[in-house]
């Protein structure tokens, strides 16, 4: 088996002696399903490169390769005060970011607001009203009694958007569990700005961005070796800088061919045609029972939103199938979709005890189930397999971008709950990159995936600043509300 992460501690060697033969056979079956060898990783990456290229053509493909109208990296000397709004999958975050004179520095104050579950499947107007209300609360709290000029706002809207302008965007489809009627296929900016006007909130949307594009720009602001921004969290995605001459779908705009353009890949949709992805029957069930079957197929195999569900489906089959686990116990909780998240697997992988007592405890706490020592060993291996597969598949995206752009060495800024919190994810991904890109065993990691700067906050502010700078310089490509934005320059 290739690249299955850090070896177990010596105290755990021989632990399979505690596993009954039938469970050992189940572990072998699961390994055959979930382990991805080097040759398969290379095949996936090569197909990834072709889909990245296809997404830039007029015809398009599974991967949207969205043009963002963020046209260049920061120089580290941007200045000013900006508001940033981050609409993620679970929280709404409002930040005020000040860029001082010092190179690559920033100051930030921020507040978080819970995204009510009912909004995720409700009405579009309710969503925009709630967001405008949060912005109004933030400004009133931090600027009570002040007379404010209209401030530039960077809005991190981390869903697939088609943009002909940096300050406008048409939602292609909802992801991350959202399914709000009447928003897909529409420009999200006018109803959002109407909600701001109705409340008299002194903000002008200057840049509508994706968190991945923000991650790229924020990370480059503090480290000029950053060439790719990635998100490994509730969803998965990457952004990188392309030359306009390499983007056939905007050739009609006659932009300078060497002008840089940040591309928001939205590659959670990679291989929706299922030509190379090694899907298991559990992946098929996750996809079939999701709000959007047949979409985001890659994302459903690696993103944090789905890792716990994959684990649950395997465990449920072990309970209801020939293994007959949990005999005489109530498995009703185990039958509830998405009752487990990635943190459940992380706790199992981090269990430090030779007898896997914490694994037994977490099963009892979360599912009300008693598990034997042998069963704990199986579940430990299952968590490793699902977590390792996610990390190895995740490496195919940055590797494909490097191959497409012929990047021999760079830093990759990564953010997201899975990257930051899931045990061994970074190390397993690094091993996979070595296998895909054929580095020598004594060679350092030439593509180094590092923790990113705050893309959805600082990145949004920086892209708003870059937009104002372009406006001042007369480079108005991809800016719609030119008069309003000029007034803030």
279 among known catalytic residues: no
- The pairs formed by 131-135 with CB atoms below 8 angstroms and a separation of 24 or more are 131/85, 131/87, 131/92, 131/192, 131/195, 132/192, 132/195, 132/196, 132/198, 132/199, 132/201, 133/199, 134/92, 134/94, 135/83, 135/85, 135/94, 135/196, 135/201, 135/203
Q: Tell me which H or E stretch contains 290.
A: none
Among the listed residues 86, 129, 211, 341, the single catalytic one is: 211
- Whether the CB-CB separation of 115 and 142 falls below 8 Å is answered with no
Neighbours of 5 (CB within 10 A): 18
- Cα dihedral 17, 19, 20, 26 sign: negative
Paired tokens of 56: 């830039």
How far apart, in whole angstroms, are the C-alpha atoms of residue 405 and residue 428? 24
- Cα dihedral 164, 165, 169, 173 sign: positive
211 among known catalytic residues: yes
Among the listed residues 15, 86, 158, 283, the single catalytic one is: 158
Paired tokens of 448: 């180094």
SS3 479: coil
Closest CA to 410 of 452, 450, 451: 450
How far apart, in whole angstroms, are the C-alpha atoms of residue 83 and residue 465? 11
- Indicate the pairing of strand 226-232 with strand 170-171: unpaired
How far apart, in whole angstroms, are the C-alpha atoms of residue 26 and residue 9? 23
How far apart, in whole angstroms, are the C-alpha atoms of residue 412 and residue 405? 14
DSSP 4-25: --SPPPGGGTTGGGGS-HHHHH
How far apart, in whole angstroms, are the C-alpha atoms of residue 215 and residue 230? 7
372 among known catalytic residues: no
Q: How far does the chain reach from its first CA to its final CA, in angstroms?
A: 57
- In this structure, what DSSP letter does residue 333 have? G
How far apart, in whole angstroms, are the C-alpha atoms of residue 341 and residue 432? 24
Contacts of 114 (CB under 8 A, 6+ apart): 90, 91, 92
Among the listed residues 15, 129, 173, 187, the single catalytic one is: 173
Contacts of 93 (CB under 8 A, 6+ apart): 84, 85, 86, 110, 111, 112, 113, 456, 457
Q: How far is CA 307 from CA 276, 341, 344, 469, in A?
A: 20, 7, 9, 42
Hey, which residues are catalytic here?
A: 158, 173, 211
């Amino acid at each position: 088996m290739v690249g299955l992460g850090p070896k177990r501690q010596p105290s755990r060697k021989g632990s399979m002696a505690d596993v009954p033969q039938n469970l050992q056979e189940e572990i072998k079956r699961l390994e055959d399903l979930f382990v991805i060898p080097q040759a398969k990783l290379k095949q996936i990456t090569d197909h990834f490169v072709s889909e990245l290229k296809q997404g830039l053509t007029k015809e398009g493909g599974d991967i949207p390769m969205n043009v963002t109208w963020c046209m260049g990296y920061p120089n580290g000397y941007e200045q000013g005060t900006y508001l940033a709004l981050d609409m993620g999958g679970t929280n709404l975050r409002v930040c005020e970011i000040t860029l001082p004179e010092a190179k690559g520095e920033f100051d930030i104050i921020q507040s978080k607001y819970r995204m009510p579950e009912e909004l995720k499947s409700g009405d579009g107007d309710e969503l925009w009203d709630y967001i405008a209300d949060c912005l109004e609360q933030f400004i009133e709290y931090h600027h009570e009694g002040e007379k404010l000029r209209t401030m530039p706002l960077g809005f991190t809207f981390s869903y697939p958007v088609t943009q002909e302008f940096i300050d406008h965007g048409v939602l292609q489809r909802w992801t991350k569990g959202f399914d709000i009627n009447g928003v897909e296929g529409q420009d999200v900016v006018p109803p959002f700005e109407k909600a701001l006007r109705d409340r008299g909130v002194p903000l002008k949307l200057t840049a509508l961005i994706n968190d991945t594009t923000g991650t790229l720009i924020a990370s480059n602001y503090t480290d000029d070796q950053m060439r790719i921004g990635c998100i490994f969290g509730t969803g998965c995605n990457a952004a990188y800088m392309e030359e306009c001459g390499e983007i056939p779908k905007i050739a009609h705009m006659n932009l300078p061919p060497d002008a840089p353009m940040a591309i928001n890949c939205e590659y959670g949709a990679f291989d929706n045609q299922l030509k190379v992805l090694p899907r298991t029957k559990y992946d098929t069930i996750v996809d079939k029972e999701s709000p959007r079957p047949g979409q985001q197929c890659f994302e459903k195999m690696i993103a944090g939103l789905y890792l716990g569900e994959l684990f649950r489906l395997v465990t449920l089959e072990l309970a209801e199938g020939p293994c007959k686990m949990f005999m005489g116990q109530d498995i009703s909780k185990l039958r509830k979709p998405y009752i487990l998240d990635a943190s459940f697997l992380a706790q199992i992988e981090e269990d430090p005890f030779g007898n896997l007592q914490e694994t037994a405890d977490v099963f009892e706490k979360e599912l009300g189930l008693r598990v034997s020592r042998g069963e704990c060993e199986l579940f430990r291996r299952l968590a490793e397999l699902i977590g390792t597969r996610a990390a190895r598949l995740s490496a195919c995206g940055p590797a494909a971008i490097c191959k497409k752009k012929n990047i021999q060495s760079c830093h990759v800024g990564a953010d997201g709950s899975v990257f930051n919190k899931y045990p061994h994810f970074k190390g397993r991904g690094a091993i996979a990159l070595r296998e895909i890109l054929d580095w020598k065993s004594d060679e350092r990691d030439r593509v180094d995936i590092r923790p990113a700067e705050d893309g959805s906050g600082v990145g949004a502010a920086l892209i708003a600043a870059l937009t104002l700078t372009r406006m001042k310089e007369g480079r108005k490509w991809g800016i719609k509300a030119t008069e309003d934005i000029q007034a803030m320059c």
